[in-house]
């Protein structure tokens, strides 16, 4: 049976201490949050009448950021929060609904709630 990697490491005094993240791991998590905020900021900066983005653009771009971040962290052997995977796949679902089932629905508000939830859980748990 394979031994599961714990988030706690055995220290020299016989106890366990929390696993420390590498600088690269922390940087990737912060970049994930940054890109989610940039998506929201771009919507606020762009003029409403000038550039009309398709309704599926926000959920798809959020899904790409979250799933891409999760895959990058996973391939490097870092722990990925389940919230990252859930948020990414929820946004994929919203994109599919928007593209194929209900093209007139606007999921901007729900997408922003998912973004905020991922960032908030990352701040509370220290993982994204």
Domain-by-domain residue ranges, the chain? 21-125
The pTM assigned to this predicted structure is: 0.78
Distance CA 103, CA 100 (A): 7
Tens place of pLDDT per residue across the chain (128 aa): 555 555 544 444 544 445 678 888 889 989 998 999 998 888 888 776 556 778 899 999 999 999 999 999 999 999 899 999 999 999 999 999 999 999 899 898 999 999 999 999 988 887 76
Q: Give, in degrees to the nearest 5, the angle at Cα 122 between 35 and 5.
A: 115
CA nearest neighbour of 128 among 56, 64, 60, 79: 79
d(CA 91, CA 36): 12
Quick one: which of 62, 49, 46 has its CA closest to 109? 62
């Amino acid at each position: 049976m394979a031994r599961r990697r714990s988030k706690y490491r055995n220290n020299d005094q016989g106890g366990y201490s929390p696993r420390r993240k590498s600088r690269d791991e922390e940087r990737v998590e912060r970049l994930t949050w940054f890109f989610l905020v940039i998506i929201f900021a771009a919507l606020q900066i762009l003029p409403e009448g000038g550039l009309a983005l398709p309704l599926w653009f926000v959920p798809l771009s959020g899904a790409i950021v979250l799933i891409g971040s999760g895959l990058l962290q996973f391939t490097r052997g870092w722990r990925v929060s389940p919230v990252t995977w859930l948020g990414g796949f929820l946004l994929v679902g919203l994109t599919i609904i928007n593209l194929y089932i209900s093209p007139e629905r606007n999921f901007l508000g729900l997408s922003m709630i998912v973004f905020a939830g991922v960032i908030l859980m990352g701040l509370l748990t220290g993982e994204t």
